[in-house]
Structure 1
Amino acid sequence: MIRLNVFIQVTEANRASVLESAKELVASSLKDNGCIAYDIFESSTRKEVLMICETWLNEESLSAHEQTPHFITLVPQIQKLGSMKIEKFEWA
């Protein structure tokens, strides 16, 4: 399985727009084949930090997700409004 932790740093002015796009991304991604979990979290200590946690069955399902219309549309929108850092973990 594959786990992605995507940290998004946003300004106060862009926070609501990023959250809106991220929630849409979560709702659509949960329907993708091989998606085990997909959630967005808001930091309780740093208001400017959000985190998307994704768990995928395998690399094939993650790659297919990255080709979906919702990913291709929403991720660039989020990247325009905030900076992203991705950590990837794999386990059997």
Structure 2
Amino acid sequence: MVSSYGVSSFLKQHSDDEAIFKSFRDINELIKDMLEIKGKYVNVESELKEMHDRYSQLSLQFAEVEGERQKLMMTLKNVRSSRNLLRRSSIAALEDHSPL
């Protein structure tokens, strides 16, 4: 004959073992989830670094193109200014040599 104490202690121990195994399973799942999240984080971090590098390259290219644009604008302004001066001096020279 099994005493009621023996049955209840067996059930309690079995229940405790089951709870421990469940805790281990839960911990293993959490570790697995954390490793998966870490992997995704590493991928996102790598993509972000690539994007930053690309942004830096594009910024540098933009600065170079902008510098060239400003040079061209200054050249165009100087050419127009020179052309206007030549035109004015030609008109003045013609007016000086024209008979009245």
TM-score normalised by structure 1 residue count:
0.22
- The answer to which structure, 1 or 2, has the higher relative contact order (CA under 8 A, 6+ apart) is 1
Q: Which is greater in Rg?
A: 2
TM-score normalised by structure 2 residue count:
0.21
More strand by share: 1
